[in-house]
Amino acid sequence: MRILIDESLPIALANELTGHDVSTVRQQRWRGLRNGVLLRAAANAGFEVIVSADHSLQHQQNLVAIGIAAVIIRGTRTRLRFIQPLVPKILAAIDTIRPGEVLEVRPR
C-alpha cells in the first residue's frame, strides 16, 4: 500500500510503517498545501492512504470523490514517542481501510 504521512506528524513515523511504500509530505515537497489540494495531489501520485493528526480532514473533504483513505490519529501528542505505541493499530487500520474511508486510531 502507498502511504503518505501528513506534515502534522513526525517524519520518523514513516520508518515505523514497515511493509508499505511510505513517504512524507515533506519528501514530496507538498508542505503548506491546503487539505483539498494535498489530498488530490496525493491521490494523483498514487497514494492510497494518508496518515494524519488533522481531525478536521474528514469533515472538510470528500475522500470518496478524491479516491484516498485516511487514518486519523487522535487522543495523543504528535511526537514519535507518543505515537509509537499506536503503530500496531495504525498498521491494522491501513490493512483494512478502503478508498474513501476514515479510520481513527486512539491510545485506548
The Cα 71–Cα 69 span in angstroms is 7
Type of residue numbered 65: A
The Cα 26–Cα 106 span in angstroms is 24
- Dump pLDDT digits (tens) for 2-61: 999 999 999 999 999 999 999 999 999 999 999 899 999 999 999 999 999 998 887 778
What structural domains does the chain harbor?
A: 2-105 (3.40.50)
Determine the length of the chain: 108
Burial 5-37 (b: 16+ CB within 10 A, else e): bbbebbeebbebbeeeebbbbeebebeebebee
- In sequence order, the 6+-apart residues with CB closer than 8 A to the CB of 95 are 1
The Cα 93–Cα 108 span in angstroms is 14
Q: Please report which confidence band the pLDDT of residue 88 belongs to, taking 50, 70 and 90 as the band edges.
A: very high
